[in-house]
Amino acid sequence: MTAMQAARRTLSDVFGYDSFRPGQESVVSAILSGRDVMAVMPTGAGKSMCYQIPALVLEGITLVVSPLISLMRDQVSSLLQNGVRAAYLNSSLTSRQYMLALDNAKRGVYKIIYVAPERLLTRSFLDFAMQADIAQVVVDEAHCVSQWGQDFRPGYLDIAPFIAQLPRRPRVSAFTATATESVKKDIMRLLELRQPYAVTTGFDRPNLFFEVRREGNRDLALLRFLKEQQGKSGIVYCGTRKGVEEVTGMLVQNRIDAVGYHAGMGDEERMSAQEDFVSDRAPVIVATNAFGMGIDKSNVSFVVHYNMPKDLESYYQEAGRAGRDGEDAVCCLLYQPSDVHLNTFLIDHAQENMQLDAETQKIVTDRAKERLKQMTYYATTSGCLRTKILSYFGETPENPRCGNCSGCMTAAQERDVTREAGRIVACVLALGGKYGKALTAKVLAGSQSERIRERQLDKLTVFGSLKAEGEENIRLMIDELIIDEVLELTDGQYPLLKAGPRAREALLGDEPIRMTIAHRDAAPAPRLRVTAKPNVDKALLKRLNRLRRSIAEEQHVPPFIIFTNATIRDMAVKCPRTRAQMLCVDGVGERKMDRYGDMFLRVIREYLEE
């Protein structure tokens, strides 16, 4: 079996997935062949699979340097659930626990070890590392090594010296979700990557709907938004701790189960807020941007920014925490001009405590202001929001209008169709009220159908007068004109189209007519959904979720660690009745089959027998 075959086997047997996602396969293959890797992949793209699979295929240990305790904990519990021996080494362990874990590591108990960067150069850790067979060092959130990035973490500078001390240099792979060219260069230089295989996978997250709301009162805008999202779970980001407290209070007063989360709270209170959110007990968490990274949960259906963040890097990273399970999700930014002033103030005062020389300080400030300007363009543009984001990250989308953001939706709303309406009325008059909607649209679109030629309708001057519009749009306009009483439909089995009371006005074009019809040239390309959503049995889904929740509570882990939402949903669609069928569900590997398969099969069986 080749290494890649082993990798595919691991993907399906251990993790329960049929196929690699875009970008994953080439990274896995590069790592297996011994190369260094520099991978820029958006949140939710599936970075962990890229290094966890090689970790299991390769002889030896994989070390993963990660900046956050909560991320490490979740990764390790997920791995353990899948039967992979893994551990983390960070400051959340007591020194006894730490020594014990290190002892285990020395004895080769773990395949994957997550470690905080600050540990790397400590005596005890080096002692272990010098003797261990380390096959791979992974640097997660690699942008933390760059001072130009938004999350500089000095401990990351220890990574290269650490690797240099190892008796045999392992392959080194760096992963990040946000990297502009300069940050990417910094990562490769500071981590001393050797001719890395560099890959940047598409930044687009097709399942996210982007929107900006510029209503005068943020609280009302937020309440309205949350009402639309009722029953779903999501994050509300605020710019300040005080904001978190105020917004949480406001939501609770309005009977929304929200919990607050910020660094100024006591550890216990903060942990319990996070627990409530992650375990789905509180559907809404209000948090500061700075501590958002610690919240990791895959079924986040929306992310609202109560304030505009300082740059698109932060915004896209935070907003990108929605929909990581691949389900449709909404990212909403509430914008007010005062956001710009506040951010400018923060930039002007941020560098004071970094003790930079005057020249460097000016560069840093200028860059930050430029980033803020781009963020502000995003918040105020009337164009496509997705295009704005993607082009900021250096991508050129095929279609400049995505059709899945508030920019595209309002563009469709603001269309003046006075001229088109006039032509439609002229056509209806020319047809003498003898035909229905469909044929009228065909005549206007200049369609070459039998019926039209037979009746010589193609000889009329109105024939093809709205050719550029297309039949579909014409039919939509006719519907609108009926509502507006410009046209009327007769009663009966085959309703015919005739002029309505306001037809004359439309024909003269005195009053402008506006409609929510897309511009022909601006019409979004038909969006290829990755998966057409199959019908889910909602009642079954509910039971499966209940079972998942009770298992999760018993084990004191978040529900998505047992199975992700996407897996539960797939189960409700496939409705497996046998172990073999259960293994075909996305996200059910052999280990999880052994642990939970029968319980879930029983619930399905009981459900089907009722």
Helix (H, G, I), strand (E, B) or coil at 151: coil
Among the residue ranges 41-49, 474-482, 500-508, 521-529, the one whose residues contact ligand ADP (CB under 6 A): 41-49
Q: Across the chain, which distance is largest between two alpha carbons, in Å?
A: 93
Helix (H, G, I), strand (E, B) or coil at 173: strand
Q: Would you count residue 402 as binding Zn ion (CB under 5 A)?
A: yes
Helix (H, G, I), strand (E, B) or coil at 77: helix
**Can you give the C-alpha Rg of the chain in angstroms?**
29
Among 405, 411, 457, 503, binds Zn ion (CB under 5 A): 405
The residue (of 305 and 324) whose beta carbon lies closer to ligand ADP is 324
Q: Would you count residue 437 as binding ligand ADP (CB under 6 A)?
A: no
Number of residues that bind ligand ADP (CB under 6 A): 17
Residue 51 near residue 39 (C-beta atoms within 8 A): no
Residue 410 near residue 382 (C-beta atoms within 8 A): yes
Among the residue ranges 64-72, 97-105, 407-415, 485-493, the one whose residues contact Zn ion (CB under 5 A): 407-415
Among the residue ranges 40-48, 102-110, 221-229, 407-415, the one whose residues contact ligand ADP (CB under 6 A): 40-48
Q: Would you count residue 591 as binding ligand ADP (CB under 6 A)?
A: no
Binding mask 310-329 for ligand ADP (x = CB under 6 A): --------------xx----
Among 37, 45, 322, 384, binds Zn ion (CB under 5 A): 384
∠ CA 467-471-473, rounded to 5°: 100
Among 321, 371, 386, 569, binds Zn ion (CB under 5 A): 386
Among 31, 41, 53, 439, binds ligand ADP (CB under 6 A): 41
Among the residue ranges 39-47, 143-151, 234-242, 455-463, the one whose residues contact ligand ADP (CB under 6 A): 39-47
Among 17, 203, 302, 596, binds ligand ADP (CB under 6 A): 17
Two structure tokens written together for 84: 């992979």
The residue (of 10 and 207) whose beta carbon lies closer to Zn ion is 207
The 3-class SS string of 472-490 reads: HHHHHHHHHHHHCCCEEEC
Place of tokens 């009325």: 425
The residue (of 139 and 408) whose beta carbon lies closer to ligand ADP is 139
Provide the b/e sequence for 503-538 (b: ≥16 CB within 10 Å). bebbbeeeeebebebbeeeebbeeeeeeeeeeeebe
d(Cα 609, Cα 134) in Å, to the nearest integer? 52
Q: Would you count residue 150 as binding ligand ADP (CB under 6 A)?
A: no
Contacts of residue 247, Cβ cutoff 8 Å, sequence gap at least 6 = 219, 222, 236, 238, 258, 260, 286, 306
Which of ligand ADP, Zn ion, none binds 408 (CB below 5-8 Å, type-dependent)? Answer: Zn ion
Query: Residue type at 336?
Result: Q
- Alpha helices (H) in 436-563, listed in sequence order: 437-445, 450-454, 471-483, 503-508, 538-555, 559-562
Residue 29 near residue 6 (C-beta atoms within 8 A): no
Which of ligand ADP, Zn ion, none binds 405 (CB below 5-8 Å, type-dependent)? Answer: Zn ion
DSSP state for residue 156 in the 8-state scheme: G
| 333, β-bridge pairs | 212, 305
Binding mask 250-289 for ligand ADP (x = CB under 6 A): ----------------------------------------
Among the residue ranges 36-44, 126-134, 279-287, 439-447, the one whose residues contact ligand ADP (CB under 6 A): 36-44
Q: Would you count residue 565 as binding ligand ADP (CB under 6 A)?
A: no
The residue (of 132 and 235) whose beta carbon lies closer to ligand ADP is 235
- What is the C-alpha end-to-end distance of the chain, expressed in Å? 46
Binding site for ligand ADP (CB under 6 A): 17, 20-21, 24, 41, 43-49, 298, 324-325, 564, 586
Binding site for Zn ion (CB under 5 A): 384, 386, 402, 405, 407-408
